[in-house]
Structure 1
Amino acid sequence: MPTKIYWIQSFEKNARIGIMPRPRGGDWLEDEISHFKRQNVTLIVSLLENDEVGELDLRKEEVYCLQYGIGFLRFPIKDRDVPVNARGLIQTLLKHLEEGAKIVIHCRMGIGRSAIIAGAVLVSKGYKASAVLTQISEVRGLKVPDTQEQVSWLIGMETHPY
């Protein structure tokens, strides 16, 4: 069964943002990327660190994304941590959404890192962090994110963006 995308929010021009656990790697990876293409995903953002990419056998993720016409960005964040500076990434994602992109963000399990980056995009668009966390938790079917530090980081985005 392909990795499930948890769509969080839709925007103008049919743009969408969602999160997911990492795709199945190795021999399954191309099938996963093909599935995402059929779901009209236009950009995949991986928040995995280099060692996780190797461990999960996702080294060809970017290659397959390009092969299937899906954009690919990597922005490594340590597991259960927060980004040092996400300004450029958030601005890039906002620009893609303005252009009608269908963005999927993943980390290892689709709970912590992916939730706060997707949440930061929504907070940057004027949504309240507490409402965003509730919405993502409901869509994801479990409480997000992983740590109180991640919650605090997202709440801090309301007053100190990026």
Structure 2
Amino acid sequence: MALHALSVGEGILALSPAPGAGGDYKEDLRLIREWRPSIVITLTTRVEHVIMGIETLGSDIQGLGSRWFHLPIEDFQIPDDDTEDRWSQVSLLARQALSGGGRVLVHCRGGCGRSGMATLRLMIEAGEDPKAALVRLRQIRACAVETDEQMDWACSATPQTLHPPAAGSRSCPPTI
């Protein structure tokens, strides 16, 4: 498992495939433990956890000393209403961790679409220009954000900063 990391605020934000997606769940947990994220955001569904044999993911992550948030999103989709409602609180905690120099890990099954969407949204909510954020994100993970709907959801973010970007610079390009 590879962690694709970039600086956001004073902290480090990373996206990755799900622990165990490559076949070595225990080794992936060891890597996460060594990286020491304060928060792990899981975007895979319970069905995916069963398929991958990682039903204990939440308790295993918490056992590493990280806060764990499960925001299940179907593959190639965007959050449903329930997950969208929970996003604002999880996002706030993640941005607080990042502004304090912490580390946040976001993952889906493959580490591209859903995790790229959530990572891009966090970057925009942290005050980054959407286009610049997407360029930075795709420099470390070329497959980040896979559908137009995911791009639209990420770019619908409202910056949560005292210094919003200049007017007219808030749109994302289409997915490629």
Task: Identify the TM-score tier after normalising by the shorter chain.
Answer: 0.7 to 0.9
The residue aligned with 1:37 is 33
Aligned alpha-carbon RMSD (Å): 2.0
- 1:98-151 deviation per Cα after TM superposition (whole angstroms, max 9, x unaligned): 3332111000111111111111111112111122112111101x2421101111
Matched, 1:100 2:101: yes
The Cα shift of 1:81 comes to 1.1
The residue aligned with 2:68 is 72
Superposition TM-score, scaled by structure 1 size? 0.85
The residue aligned with 2:155 is 155
Contact 1:129 1:158 in 2 (8 A): no
What's the % identity of the aligned pairs? 18
Amino acid at match of 1:151: M
Structure 1, 115-124 or 27-36: larger mean CA deviation: 27-36
The residue aligned with 2:88 is 87
132 and 107 in structure 1: CA distance in 2 versus 1, 3 angstrom threshold: same
The Cα shift of 1:80 comes to 0.8
The Cα shift of 1:95 comes to 2.0
The Cα shift of 1:25 comes to 5.8
26 and 148 in structure 1: CA distance in 2 versus 1, 3 angstrom threshold: closer
Contact 2:113 2:143 in 1 (8 A): no
Amino acid at match of 1:103: V
2:48 corresponds to which of 33, 46, 52: 52
Amino acid at match of 1:147: T
**Cα distance in 1 between the residues matched to 2:66 and 2:26:** 12
The Cα shift of 1:158 comes to 4.4
The Cα shift of 1:92 comes to 2.0
Amino acid at match of 2:19: P
1:7 corresponds to which of 5, 8, 27: 5
Superposition TM-score, scaled by structure 2 size? 0.78
The Cα shift of 1:63 comes to 2.1
Local SS of the residue matching 2:14: strand
The Cα shift of 1:90 comes to 1.3
Contact 2:37 2:104 in 1 (8 A): yes
Contact 1:53 1:59 in 2 (8 A): yes
The residue aligned with 2:163 is none
Structure 2, gaps ≥5 residues long: 160-176
Contact 2:8 2:98 in 1 (8 A): no
